[in-house]
Amino acid sequence: MKLLHTSDWHLGRALYGRKRNDEFSQFLDWLLDTISSRAIDVLLIAGDIFDTTTPSNWAQNLYYQFLTRIQQTGCRHVVITAGNHDSASFLEAPAGILKTMNIHVIGSIDDNIHKEIITIKGTDETPQLIICAVPYLRERDIRSASPGETVDEKSAKLIQGIQNHYDEVVSHALQLKTVQRLHVPIIALGHLFAAGGQSVKGDGVRELYVGSLAHVPASIFPDEIDYLALGHLHSSQRVAGDESRRYCGSPLPVSFAEGKKAKSVIQIECTSNIESIAELEVPCFQRLESLEGDLQQLLEKMTHLRAQNCSIWLEIKYTGEELIPHLQETLREAVAGSKLEILRILNTRIINSVLSSETSQETLEELSVEEVFARCLAQNDISGEQQNELTLRFNQAMEALQQNDQG
């Protein structure tokens, strides 16, 4: 049986105000072709399908068109779990209809642990795989708050809650194997931040709780999990160096800092156990370049890129000492009439502190909510335990806003 692990599509996400509809469409076209050409049996999507809990009509249409088109590829099952960016109730709303198409959607946990356990059968109805489809575990679902808790105590409770849930769902999967005398792999999904995981500044990875709170150690996952398909971190990587515990990463670079990183999905082949795990590189659908230097250096680099006559989105970092009048106009004139497009200009000459405007034209639209909050903390010299407490309250408020449709 062949599986494909992907996550963190973030459909609808823009880059400094520039819509990326073409890239998302091209990625999903490529994914469908890959599923078909490689005869993939099961597609795993480990959260953050959408970038917000209220996706645009365009993003919704693209998602449902994909689920319709995948029926023609030969892929027999799709397993979708919610991430922290997703609305669990929105994803689960059509779950009953989608299940008739062998598309299994798990948005949140509840008292029915069995809904997270999916038995994948072959064409002869013989069980071939058990999937523990664990979605993003929200703080309110896995721990109870106590007055006067320290940040360390909160962290310990969160990690214990996550471990308890994985122990429970895997225990039920093992019982199923025993009762039915199955010799099949157990695949688990998750959407979390594993301790030691690597992220890139500006890559859009949102802290799930507060600071390093609930950076989950690899040791909490039961050994009986044959492959752990994770989402949340945008760079492809192994958890604690373990070949069978993986982040596939986002299929598109979500920032200029990721522009040079290879993107991938992961193919897993198994029979009674895991036989092979391989990364498949996702093509680059839109080239990103970050240029840095004084004005002369920037103009020379832009001239070189312009001569390549291909579509490139640019982030410009002016690091010269000279104060250049009309810097933005000068740079934009240099790309006029070409396939180069400047999305962001940072003028370090006029940055006096981390809270200063990154460019004379920087707007709130260019900053994430988390970046604005972080700047407010820094501006007021808030650090240590107080910073952790305020960040915890901020993240709780953000989660409540994002999930207010769940009641």
**Amino acid letter, residue 346:** L
Q: Return the pLDDT at 21.
A: 95
Residue 70 · residue 43 · CB < 8 Å: yes
Average pLDDT estimate for 224-238: 95
CATH label, 287-349, candidates 3.40.50.720, 3.40.1390.10, 1.20.140.10, 3.30.160.720: 3.30.160.720
Residue 243 · residue 220 · CB < 8 Å: no
More confident: 13 or 352: 13
Q: Model confidence over 242-286: pLDDT tens digits?
A: 999 999 999 999 899 888 899 999 999 999 899 999 999 999 999
Q: Return the pLDDT at 201.
A: 61
Q: Model confidence over 38-81: pLDDT tens digits?
A: 999 999 999 999 999 999 999 999 999 999 999 999 999 999 99
pLDDT band at 356 (very low <50, low <70, confident <90, very high): very low
Average pLDDT estimate for 352-356: 40
Q: Return the pLDDT at 355.
A: 40
Residues with Cβ < 8 Å from 40, sequence gap 6 or more?
2, 3, 4, 34, 73, 74, 75, 267
Angle at 243 between CA 76 and CA 274, to 5 degrees: 40
More confident: 187 or 195: 187
Q: How far is the C-alpha of 74 from the C-alpha of 77, rounded, in Å?
A: 9
Average model confidence (pLDDT) for the chain?
87
- Counting residues of the chain whose pLDDT is more than 90, the rounded percentage is 65
Say if residue 376's pLDDT is above 80: no
Q: Return the pLDDT at 233.
A: 93
What are the boundaries of each domain within the chain? 2-282, 287-349
Q: Return the pLDDT at 87.
A: 94
pLDDT band at 203 (very low <50, low <70, confident <90, very high): low
Say if residue 306 is exposed, middle or buried (CB neighbours under 10 Å; 0-12, 13-18, 19+). middle
Q: Return the pLDDT at 214.
A: 58
- In degrees and rounded to multiples of 5, residue 321 shows phi and psi of -85, -25
Indicate the SS3 state at residue 136.
coil
Residue 190 · residue 134 · CB < 8 Å: yes
Q: How far is the C-alpha of 402 from the C-alpha of 296, rounded, in Å?
A: 45
Say if residue 215's pLDDT is above 70: yes
Say if residue 153's pLDDT is above 90: no
Residue 364: count other Cβ atoms within 10 Å of its Cβ. Answer: 9
pLDDT band at 22 (very low <50, low <70, confident <90, very high): very high
- Tell me the two tokens of residue 143: 């721990």
Q: Model confidence over 306-323: pLDDT tens digits?
A: 999 999 999 999 988 888
Say if residue 395's pLDDT is above 80: no
Under CATH, what is the fold of the domain 2-282? Purple Acid Phosphatase; chain A, domain 2 (3.60.21)
Q: Return the pLDDT at 354.
A: 40
pLDDT band at 216 (very low <50, low <70, confident <90, very high): confident
Highest mean pLDDT among 127-131, 150-154, 402-406: 127-131
Q: Return the pLDDT at 210.
A: 41
Whole-Å CA distances, 338 to 297, 313, 396: 19, 11, 45
- Pairing of β 263-270 and β 274-282: antiparallel
- Tell me the two tokens of residue 364: 């709130």
Average pLDDT estimate for 100-115: 94
Q: Return the pLDDT at 384.
A: 67
Q: How far is the C-alpha of 127 from the C-alpha of 183, rounded, in Å?
A: 9
Say if residue 373's pLDDT is above 60: yes
- Tell me the two tokens of residue 25: 């469409």
Say if residue 89's pLDDT is above 90: yes
pLDDT band at 178 (very low <50, low <70, confident <90, very high): very high
Establish whether domains 2-282 and 287-349 are of one fold. no
Q: How far is the C-alpha of 396 from the C-alpha of 158, rounded, in Å?
A: 14
Number of helices and strands in the chain (H, E): 10, 15
Indicate the SS3 state at residue 313.
strand
pTM listed for this prediction: 0.83
Average pLDDT estimate for 79-106: 95
Find, among 122, 124, 134, the residue nearest to 44 by Cα.
134
Task: Give the range among 200-204, 257-261, 393-397 with minimum mean pLDDT.
Answer: 200-204
Q: Return the pLDDT at 186.
A: 97
Q: Return the pLDDT at 315.
A: 96
- In whole angstroms, what separates CA 242 from the centre of its chain? 20
pLDDT band at 357 (very low <50, low <70, confident <90, very high): very low
- Tell me the two tokens of residue 161: 């809650």
